[in-house]
Amino acid sequence: CSTCPSAVAQDGDIVFVTGTVGDSAAGLHLLFEKGLDGPYHAGEQVLVAAHQQPKPQVEFARMLINHHIRVSLNDVSDGVASEVNELAEASQVTIRLHVNQLPLSDAMQMFPREKQIEWALYGGEDFQLIGTVAKEDWQRLLEQCHLLGIRCTNIGVVEAGDAKVLLVEDEQVTELKVFGYNHFRK
């Protein structure tokens, strides 16, 4: 349809994600560790709520349609690693994902950094959206997100190349491998 914002990722696009990632997986970890009745302190309650009562980014999707912003888009149901790989495969591009730019909540700071990154990349069920947007539309996207009170973070860049994701952390670059089901795998 002519008003649908979905498109393929293109060389030079910015990779973004809404909200924070990893919270649901951290909440599930706490539920397994402490059970349904806890007790949970305030930060833990935030994470448990993220798992039990996620908030889909419906307003963000509406905004994209209303403002005709070209994006490739996926929901973070299986974790950032899986979803960003699906974007790369569907668009036949390379995506550089910057680990230090992943938006992690303050509540997750109680856990070791390695766990935070693991949950952000592989946890899933965050009900956030991940996608790419043309560099020239990035500022307009951020402005609209600000008006809606939606956090949107630049986490990488799209490059021409083979369909893969490169994980960039402290100047080290490794290919990101995914686990689980991939709809685009042949």
Q: Quick: pLDDT tens for 157-166.
A: 999 999 999 9
The pLDDT confidence band at residue 129, using thresholds 50, 70 and 90, is very high
The per-residue pLDDT for 68 is 85
> 96: closest CA among 161, 24, 30, 21?
161
Are the CB atoms for 155 and 100 separated by under 8 Å? no
- 149 by Cβ neighbours in 10 Å (0-12 / 13-18 / 19+) ranks as exposed
- Residue 19's CB is within 10 A of a number of other CB atoms, namely 21
Mean local confidence (pLDDT), 77-96: 94
For the domain covering 14-22+54-175, report its CATH number: 3.90.650.10
Mean local confidence (pLDDT), 107-117: 96
Is 80 exceeded by the pLDDT of residue 127? Answer: yes
> Rounded to an integer, what distance in angstroms lies between the CA atom of residue 48 and that of residue 45?
5
Q: Is the dihedral of CA 60, 154, 92, 170 positive or negative?
A: negative
Is 70 exceeded by the pLDDT of residue 2? Answer: no
